[in-house]
A and B are shown apart, each in its own frame.
Chain A
């Protein structure tokens, strides 16, 4: 019986994936190898059987019904794009003291609220930020001057195993 690598080479030869010298090598080897020739025939016949398979598959909805769904989908996307472009400014920003606190050993967590920050114009430096946090202790802060949005999480959770988890998350 042929080894597996020879079998894969026959497949690659059939698929035209071998370079000139490799293809010649396989072609020469195939001569006088009835097992190999039979395998090649089987692979080719499988391909031939699959030819045209998809032609018989029809979308099981009428032209009008399917188009009504597509056009509705297009309309929804266009409405969404218009809404994003015209997003009105919402001007509340909550200060996150923990980011601005002096360093050196004082870890005070005073997360006040979840923030969604928006500005006029929707230009590149003023993104509309939408967030949802499964993490109840998480906050979002956008530094406009730096072009940075921070999504600060309490994950890993403050549990007995959290220190090991933290080490694991940084250990590369």
Chain B
């Protein structure tokens, strides 16, 4: 019985390996491809350096260019989270102690993103988010700075 269970499990494992993303090495329970996203928590400021004791790195030039509509001079990455969303499903991401995103894959390149602040829904956005574009919930922070949650599709 253990042998038959092993064979059955091996067949299932082989199926999952076929469905895994190249290079990802992750085996997921998915009938269709998982979609890969990235969210960066970014601090926007006119200061030249991050606060003392914080090892925040400046964002890459491409992202800085995409944020040009905003007024701040410098943008520092506080945190970065890569995650996958099974096709047609929703994934919840905690980007800080009080802030969470629900990212839901819709048809085509559309996504629905719900932003939760302290457990309550504060915004819901539904739009196409093709690779290369960003969706940026954000808000003011003290001392003329701001926080941004930069969401993008990475595959």
Contacts and interface: CB of A to CB of B under 8 A. Distances in A.
Contacts of B134: 147-149
B122 A134 contact: yes
A138 B144 CA distance: 18
Nearest to B151: A149
A128 B122 CA distance: 20
Interface in B53-92: 65-73, 78-79
A35 interface: no
A147 B96 contact: no
A103 B46 contact: yes
Q: What is the interface of chain A mostly: helix, strand, loop, or mixed? A: mixed
A167 B98 CA distance: 11
A104 B125 contact: no
B97 to A, nearest CB: 6
Contacts, number: 150
Interface residues of B, number: 53
Contact of B123 (A44, A132, A167, A170): A132
Contact of B5 (A16, A127, A152): A16
Contacts of B1: 44
Contacts of B46: 103-104
B136 interface: yes
Nearest to A80: B107
A99 B107 contact: no
Interface of A: 14-16, 44, 77, 80-81, 84, 98-105, 107, 122, 124-125, 127-135, 138, 140-141, 143, 146-156, 163, 165-172
